[in-house]
Structure 1
């Protein structure tokens, strides 16, 4: 375990050294030998959450969310899952876990609403689809809460992202149990906040001092910074 400065000189970025990933100041500065998959994962999560939130509030009076199925399977699901898998070689356990599990979330969401799966039709027959979706979202609310506390060593932006996502899942869960469109709109509002933060974090991984003249601020973590290189 070696140490290095927060912004290494260009000599430290070469064929053998790889690239440095310090977009999340609370985590170790990872010496990557592959491209940073973080922006890809954040962008896939952001655009999928944005589209699903728009469908949730029936934007432009669109009542069907069928197009969201393509976003869930291809972008939020497949692309984000790939980003999570590519995070493992970088040594970023938190990023690998985050992108992989939410990639699985969007894949499962796409399967639920895919007409060929027959899941929606089954629950519609028994008349308890809302309660079943409430249970489904309860599980994701619990998981997001755990990740929210695990992110405290990361940047403030990432902590805020998980807080807004946690609120979105909680309100979505309540909306399903109570069959309330008003609460569902409140859940979508937090979805829009989550979208903005995910876009910001994704861009911060692209706009770095390695490739630009400045670096987007993401906020220092509450604890002391660590400068370990993995």
Structure 2
């Protein structure tokens, strides 16, 4: 008599019941991008409203969404939201550190900021290539964001303020697309059908 227990492999299926973090990330990115680019377009000055949004919505909310995307095994979403969340926090740091007693001598030159924006533009260009396998909305967001970073970088490299103004209006379109993406995903999920196309 064989006393060995018959052990057969079993498959465990785990159902993901967590919500979609993408709308939060798109909202954090979209709202903050719109508000900053209204400033870039010359409509109002850079102020604490933009910085507050940059820290909490553009920064913390996006990083939180990115971490949730990581839990959902979405490498693209995790990378995008976490990286751009960190972008917003670093951008606010660039503005605020020189205002402190210890950071005044570390104020970034326009050329340094131009290189910063250029690298973000290159990263965004590669992320745009990734969207070619995703929905049209994300293609619009990342394409317009790539243009935005390159326009802002060129404006800082050349000192041409008109480029910043043009970038401002283009950035409002970019942020608006992300904002729309948030609304579309939330409304479509609530209604259980495609109300707003992506």
What number of residue pairs does the alignment pair up?
Answer: 183
The runs of at least 4 aligned residues of structure 1 exceeding 4 Å deviation read none
Task: Tell me how far apart the structure 2 counterparts of residues 35 and 63 of structure 1 sit (CA, whole Å).
Answer: 37
Give the 5 Å matches for 1:109-120: 109-114=91-96, 115-116=99-100
Name the one with the larger helix percent: 2
Would you say the 8 A contact 1:147–1:162 is kept in 2? Answer: yes
Q: Larger C-alpha radius of gyration, 1 or 2?
A: 2
Task: Tell me how far apart the structure 2 counterparts of residues 110 and 189 of structure 1 sit (CA, whole Å).
Answer: 21
Return closer, same or farther for 1:81/1:213 CA change in 2, 3 Å cut-off.
Answer: closer
Question: Aligned-pair distance for 1:116?
Answer: 2.9
Name the one with the larger strand percent: 1
Question: What residue number does 1:97 align with?
Answer: 79
Question: Aligned-pair distance for 1:186?
Answer: 1.2
Q: Deviations over 1:33-58 (max 9, x none)?
A: 21111100000000100110011123
Structure 1: 5+ residue runs without aligned partners? 1-15, 19-31, 219-230
Would you say the 8 A contact 1:33–1:90 is kept in 2? Answer: no
Structure 2: 5+ residue runs without aligned partners? 1-12
Return closer, same or farther for 1:117/1:145 CA change in 2, 3 Å cut-off.
Answer: farther
Q: Deviations over 1:54-89 (max 9, x none)?
A: 111231xx3333331111111100111111011111
Question: What residue number does 1:106 align with?
Answer: 88
Q: Which residue of 206, 211, 217 corresponds with 2:190?
A: 211
Task: Tell me how far apart the structure 1 counterparts of residues 34 and 115 of structure 2 sit (CA, whole Å).
Answer: 23
RMSD: 1.9
Task: Tell me how far apart the structure 1 counterparts of residues 80 and 170 of structure 2 sit (CA, whole Å).
Answer: 18
Q: Deviations over 1:124-167 (max 9, x none)?
A: 5xxx7111110110110110000010110001111111110000
What TM-score, normalized by structure 1, do the two folds share? 0.74
What TM-score, normalized by structure 2, do the two folds share? 0.85
